[in-house]
Amino acid sequence: MQKYTFNAVLAMGAIVIVALSYYEVLDLYVQTVLMLMGINIILSASLNLVNGYMGEFSCGHAGFMCVGAYVSSLVTVILFTKDKVFGAPVLDPELAVWFFPVAIGIGAAVAALTGLIVALPSFKTRGDYLAIITIAANYMVISAIENMDFIGGPRGFQGMKRVVNSMTDVIDIPWMMIWIIVGTVFSVWLLRRFVSSTYGKGIIAICQDEVAAEIMSVDTNRMKLAAFMLSSGLAGLAGGLFAHVYGYINPQSFNILKSTECLVMVYLGGMGSLSGSVLSAVLFTLLIEALRFFIPELNAMMHGIGILPDSYEIGQVWKWVIIPMVLILLMQFRPEGILGNKELADVFPRLRKFYSFK
């Protein structure tokens, strides 16, 4: 029984969180932070597949998230809500409960296809040039969506809240919380299974030495294709969840800054360490939320001591100075991240007793 402890704890935790959300013990802010944590876990774990396990440098992850967010939102809004642009709902809104995971899946699939933009050039180019292509892909996605006026263009897109509301009308439980927990567990499970399978070990082989991997019968091109598409597909899944949690998206919320957040999480956790990714996503979300409260405190404190001139206020924009600084310092002093290419169970071997993984 001992080896099922981890699964039992995970299930218990999920049920407890959902129950607390249902009885509104956790206020909406805490719920949102928890959901954001789940989304960040998906993002950092999926980017870790390319940046950590495969050793490439992809820094346009938010572009795929953008595709997933837009596609899944469009599907749900067109099918289930009365919209000014798209007219009456195509299906009965009560079906949204059953159709929602399918819509998210469609978003993820389209995001995976968008991943081809990056995956195909990656056969020939490596390293720096590939980094440029990923950034270009990020810009291209944002620029393309800004040019599509029928989905709002740069003004953004909304209406996903109505979908979630029609879901709660049918059965009144915190749907988004449930789907985010399901999505997070599914993503981490999928990645864990993938990189430890015989097939997925090819990715780690590419990271070590591409030429040797090719000689040892790893089909490197196919492996790269699989890695990029899986990574961008999961990013699309995260994007779809993100869109339905917040109910409003605009292309600029998926720009290079969002990609930078993903990068920070991956390198903070450690390249090629899934548990590190999960851990760092949790820590990073907490850090960002803490900064939200900490910066006004700091501002008040510094004004109190009299270091700052009265005309100057420390604003939330400092968050974006502090986060890159954290990463710079990390690169200087501990470039391998918190766990650094090891799983949690490698650092604490006793944990192995509590889960079964063959």
Partner 1 sequence: MEFLIQNIFNALQWGSFYALIALGYTLVYGVLLLINFAHGDIFMVGAYIAFFVTAFLLGDFGGMASGALPGWAILALAVPLTMALTSCVGVTLERIAYRPLRRKGAHRLYVVITALMCGLVLENGNLALLGASRKKFPELVDKAIWTFGEVSVTNLKVAVIVAAVAVFLILQTIVTRTKIGMAMRGISYDKFAIPLMGIPVDSIIVFTFVLGSGFAGLAGLLFAMSYPILEPYMGALIGWKAFIAAVVGGIGDIRGAFLGGFLLGFIEIGVAAVFPSTLRDLLAFSILLVILWWKPTGLFGVAKTTKI
Structure-token pair, residue 290: 């803490």
Nearer to partner 1, 113 or 132 (CB): 132
Among 2, 198, 217, 332, binds partner 1 (CB under 8 A): 332
Among 8, 10, 30, 331, binds partner 1 (CB under 8 A): 331
Kindly state the smallest distance separating residue 97's Cβ from partner 1, in Å: 37
Widest pairwise Cα distance in the chain: 67
**Chain centre distance of CA 315:** 26
Q: Indicate the Cα dihedral angle 249, 57, 193, 245, nearest 10°.
A: -10
Which range touches partner 1 (CB under 8 A), out of 66-74, 161-169, 182-190, 318-326? Answer: 318-326
Nearer to partner 1, 129 or 189 (CB): 129
The letter for the amino acid at 123 is F
Among 95, 135, 185, 351, binds partner 1 (CB under 8 A): 135
Nearer to partner 1, 320 or 357 (CB): 320
Which range touches partner 1 (CB under 8 A), out of 38-46, 114-122, 284-292, 300-308? Answer: 114-122
Query: H helices of the chain, where?
Result: 5-22, 28-48, 61-80, 96-114, 116-119, 128-146, 160-170, 175-196, 201-208, 210-215, 220-246, 256-269, 274-305, 319-333, 344-347
Within 188-247, the residues that bind partner 1 by CB under 8 A are 211
Among 147, 173, 300, 346, binds partner 1 (CB under 8 A): 147
Spell out the residues 6+ positions from residue 303 whose beta carbon is closer than 8 angstroms to its own.
310
| Total of chain residues touching partner 1, rule CB under 8 A | 41
Does position 83 interact with partner 1 (CB under 8 A)? The reply is: no
Q: What are phi and psi of 274, to 5 degrees?
A: -65, -45
Among 30, 286, 325, 356, binds partner 1 (CB under 8 A): 325
Does position 307 interact with partner 1 (CB under 8 A)? The reply is: no
What is the residue whose two structure tokens read 């809104």?
93
Nearer to partner 1, 55 or 240 (CB): 55
Fill in the DSSP letter of residue 49: I
Spell out the residues 6+ positions from residue 237 whose beta carbon is closer than 8 angstroms to its own.
42, 68, 104, 105, 107, 108, 111, 183, 187
Nearer to partner 1, 49 or 108 (CB): 49
For partner 1, the binding residues (CB under 8 A) are 57, 59, 117, 120-121, 124-125, 127-129, 131-133, 135-137, 139-140, 143-144, 146-147, 211, 256-257, 260, 263, 267, 314-315, 317-318, 320-321, 324-325, 327-328, 331-332, 335
